[in-house]
Amino acid sequence: MAADSPVLAGRPFPLGAHPEAGGVRFAVSAPSAEAVEVCLISEDGTENRIELTERTFGVWHGLVAGVTPGQRYGYRVHGPYDPSRGLRGNPAKLLVDPYAKRITGKVTDLDAALGYVGDPMLGPPSVVDSLGSVPLSVVTSPGGPDTGTKPEVPFEEAVIYELHVRGFTRMHPDVPEHLRGTYLGLAHPAVVEHLVRLGVTTVELLPVHAFQDEPALMREGRVNYWGYSPLGYFAPHPDYASEPSREVEEFRTMVAAMHAAGIEVLIDVVFNHTCEGGPDGPTLSLRGFDAPGYYLHVAGGGTLDITGCGNTLEAGSPQVVRLVTDSLRYWATELGVDGFRFDLASTMGRPGGGYFDRNSALLTAITTDPVLSRCKLIAEPWDATGDGYRVGDFGVQWAEWNGRYRDTVRDFWRGAIGVRDLAYRLSGSSDLYADDLRRPWQSINFITAHDGFTLRDLVSYNGKHNEANGEDNRDGTNDNRSWNCGVEGETDAPGVLTLRARQARNLFATLLLSTGTPMLVAGDELWRTQGGNNNAYCVDDETSWVDWKLTDDATAMLTFARRVITLRAGSPALRQPEFFEGRTTASGAPDLVWLRPDGEEMAETDWFDEGRRTLGMWIDGSNSLSRSREGELVSDDSWLLLLHAGADQIEVVLPPSEYGAHFEPMLDTTTADGSPATPGLLQPGSTLTITGHSLMLLRAPN
């Protein structure tokens, strides 16, 4: 259809579609394009193409009069098409605006979305019009429901809870059925109450950017449940809204509900690849605007894939730096989120796909931004390559998912290693972070995550069971470091079940009592199982959804979890914001002492005994470096943590009186709820029997 709307020049920035001056100003970056049309799509599917004649800094822009919020639109980019140089301009393909605040629809005809015919590198451009077969952008007004006051929880007080918006409430009995699996379902009072009673301070949402299923899944009639396949970096995923076209408002309402309860909202962002995949993938957005400007390419025009997903965003491109930082600021300001977890963040420090540089343009742009520098910034410090494993290597303002912590704690409790590396992990991983001006809380300690076994499965399976994924159990890691406690999978054997529950409590307690920031996974506290599936990325059913039925086992685990989290929250010495230094305290002993079962301090040679399965950790709370919200130092009692991964019980001698006038058991993983099996005060130098595979925490009042 010919253009029938007047077009003014407008301005190139900010990018996107912005209602103003009686119309909408459109601006999109397409430096290599020869012409760009904005296409207004009516309710009956007809199209009004309007050429944008102004190009500034490679941005095509124009103000179209008479357009209002709610208008569906897309772009058509004319030439050049030269796959050998990575150029894939094709006006037959209607493109989603990279800055769209709302996206509607899905790919319904994959073949129509392909920009080529035959061989993706050698074939001619497809002339099939993709209109009607691909998602559309929607003009959106700014503003909406107030997102409330950000809680600004100090990192050292944070307890992060990773959850999936859909899966978390899909089976919740107290959430109205039409709200289950939505942003408003997450905002429901019963859900918020669960988080508050558990002691969560910060929720981390799996991807909520609008995403699109990968071609391989579409062809099999499957879905990308996790959402690590982004289409648009500004638009909330529409399928998580309870009502059509209300995703922005409902997301803001959810954030407000969390903030009102004092809970922060972090979102998992995927700035390493998009749903367009490799050269054989569809042309939906970035590929059609400027593929070489957005994606890493190799000689001959193919994409460089260091994500395992077909393409990789070019971290050194100014277009990518602008796209990422603009997106982050939008979510932090307009949508109210408190921080971000960056998926495969190592790619963001590898411009050109080369060696990792913590001071890369993209990472630096994020940490120096006046808005983003105040957000919680958490890196997943690896990608799909060996060179990308960078745990401990990010810059001073970055917290990191500490994969070393996960592996070490799992290995210790399954009896595979001694205690040398465990001591580093329990005390904040100073070997990874202390030399980089970072704090212990920048170690995001975790034992389970969305990617891998649940806590219950970690103690129930030796191997993965991913048959439901349709890939013959080839997908998912084989490096699980799990132990089934003697039987693979479900069992009725009382001894095995008792040991599994205790092992789960050991792992959970270790996580919460370690120095650093603990991250839990939704449902672990409810004894959730995925039946041994450690990669349920495409399983959108009861396998992945949180089961809210409070069985006896679930009730016991929930009670224990609440107890440990509450204990941590009330014990500043267990969550100190500074590394232990061996400094002498008022007790005359160092701030941290490692103890053997005989009550004596660990000698250097003891650390190299790989058969050692018992470790004592004494923390002097009288010299705690924790502070109040006003910045004043907060003292605490001293603590003795005893961890015993051996199968047999062991006699442990409590340390002498300079460590405490007496010791009071506060947590014991041999009981279902964690209450001490032998309550009462214990004297210095007395002997304590520790059950095999168990943990005990004792308090020494100051």
**Can you give the pLDDT at residue 2?**
38
Q: Report, as an integer, the average pLDDT of 543-568.
A: 98
| Residue in 289, 343, 275 with CA at minimum distance from that of residue 317 | 289
Instruction: Annotate 471-527 with DSSP letters as a single string.
Output: STT-SS-S------TTSSS----HHHHHHHHHHHHHHHHHHHHSSSEEEEETTGGGT
Confidence of residue 624 (pLDDT cuts 50, 70, 90): confident
Assign 5 a pLDDT band (cuts: 50, 70, 90).
low
Where along the chain do the CATH 2.60.40.1180 domains lie? Answer: 580-700
Buried b (16+ CB within 10 A) or exposed e, 538-547: bbbeeebbbb
Topology at the third CATH level for domain 580-700: Immunoglobulin-like (2.60.40)
Gap between the Cα atoms of 605 and 586, Å rounded: 28
Catalytic residues: 343, 380
155-552 adopts what CATH topology? TIM Barrel (3.20.20)
Q: What would the pLDDT profile of 229-269 be if each residue is shown by its tens digit?
A: 999 999 999 999 999 999 999 999 999 999 999 999 999 99
Amino acid sitting at position 530 = Q
User: Helix (H, G, I), strand (E, B), or coil: what is residue 162?
Assistant: strand
Top-tier CATH class for 16-139: mainly beta
pLDDT 10s digits, 558-588:
999 999 999 999 999 999 999 998 877 777 7
pLDDT of residue 618: 96
pLDDT band at 635; cut points 50, 70, 90: confident
| pLDDT level of residue 629 (50, 70, 90 thresholds) | confident
Find, among 504, 447, 449, 405, the residue nearest to 162 by Cα: 449
- Which pLDDT does position 277 carry in this prediction? 97
Tell me how far apart the alpha carbons of residues 667 and 685 are, in angstroms, rounded to a whole number.
20
- pLDDT band at 667; cut points 50, 70, 90: very high
Residue range(s) of every CATH 2.60.40.10 domain in the chain: 16-139
Average pLDDT over residues 169-198: 98
Instruction: Tell me what the mean pLDDT of segment 515-532 comes to.
Output: 98
Q: What is the distance between the alpha carbons of residues 135 and 111, in angstroms, rounded to a whole number? A: 14
Give the pLDDT score at 4. Answer: 59
Range 635-662 average pLDDT: 95
> Does residue 458 surpass a pLDDT of 90?
yes
Integer Cα distance of 592 and 589 in angstroms = 8
Average pLDDT over residues 483-509: 98
**CA-to-CA distance for 259 and 238, rounded, in angstroms?**
22
Is the preceding omega at residue 14 within 30 degrees of 0, hence cis? yes
Whether the per-residue pLDDT at 26 is higher than 60: the answer is: yes
Each residue's pLDDT tens digit, 380-425: 999 999 999 999 999 999 999 999 999 999 999 999 999 999 999 9
Report whether pLDDT(609) > 90.
yes
pLDDT in tens, 27-50: 999 999 999 999 999 999 999 999
Q: What is the dihedral of CA 660, 662, 663, 664, to 10 degrees?
A: -130
Averaged pLDDT of the chain? 96
Q: Say what the pLDDT of residue 1 is.
A: 34
Which residues belong to CATH 3.20.20.80 in the chain? 155-552
Contact 167, 544 (CB under 8 A): yes
